[in-house]
């Protein structure tokens, strides 16, 4: 397993070693000991989620606040997505920065996103099945988000003039500055 830290502190790309033969392929999707050895992070995942999205669907940018914040390990079971994470940790040197990485079921790369990040993805294939592990249980009263097209974040979703498919809730999310201003009030 190959684990590399991204430009965002605490955020890692994980690439499994894939064994292929005439029967197909096999790979380990997660190993707590290996993850801890390479990252120094000790994690206990308590909830697994899976979503199925059609091409053009954009989910995000979501996060949970406070004691219900979640670290996530994201992988694509089928298809391809553009996965985006934004550092929202106030005291981080990369606060307000983001990364975007293509995750797909051919390369089997994963991304580990620590607590304090917003996360979202755009479905690039006709359909994508996304599976993610969380280190904290979902809590509806703690959910929040940032609008995907926040001009200050300047995320290149690679959609050109196309309009992504979003939920009504995601269309109503605040910009990062609006979110920060609400917290100051």
Q: Which residues are catalytic?
A: 62, 132
Return the structure tokens found at 149. Answer: 């097209």
- The side-by-side arrangement of strands in the sheet containing 2-5 is 2-5, 12-15, 110-113, 72-78, 127-134, 47-54
List CB contacts of 28: < 8 A, sequence separation 6 or more: 1, 16, 17
3-state secondary structure of 98: strand
| Helix residue ranges per DSSP H, the chain | 32-39, 168-171, 176-184
Measured CA to CA, the distance from residue 92 to residue 52 in angstroms comes to: 32
Query: Which residues neighbour 15 within 8 Å (Cβ) at sequence distance 6 or greater?
Result: 1, 2, 3, 4, 107, 108, 109, 110
CA triple 46-104-172, angle to 5 deg: 65
């Amino acid at each position: 397993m190959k684990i590399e830290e991204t430009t965002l502190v605490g955020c890692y790309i994980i690439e499994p070693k894939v064994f292929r033969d005439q029967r197909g392929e096999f790979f380990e999707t997660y190993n707590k000991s290996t993850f801890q050895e390479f990252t120094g992070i000790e994690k206990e995942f308590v909830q697994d989620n899976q979503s199925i999205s059609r091409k053009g669907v954009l989910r995000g940018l979501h996060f949970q606040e406070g004691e219900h914040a979640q670290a996530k390990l994201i992988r694509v079971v089928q298809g391809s997505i553009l996965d985006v994470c934004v550092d929202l940790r106030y005291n981080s040197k990369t606060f307000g920065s983001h990364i975007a990485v293509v995750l797909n079921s051919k390369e089997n790369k994963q991304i580990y996103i620590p607590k304090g990040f917003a996360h979202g993805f755009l479905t690039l294939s006709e359909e994508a099945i996304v599976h993610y592990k969380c280190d904290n249980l979902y809590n509806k009263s703690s959910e929040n988000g940032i609008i995907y097209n926040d001009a200050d974040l300047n995320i290149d979703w690679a959609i050109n003039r196309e309009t992504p498919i979003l939920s009504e809730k995601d269309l109503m999310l605040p910009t990062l500055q609006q979110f920060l201003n609400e917290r100051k009030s």
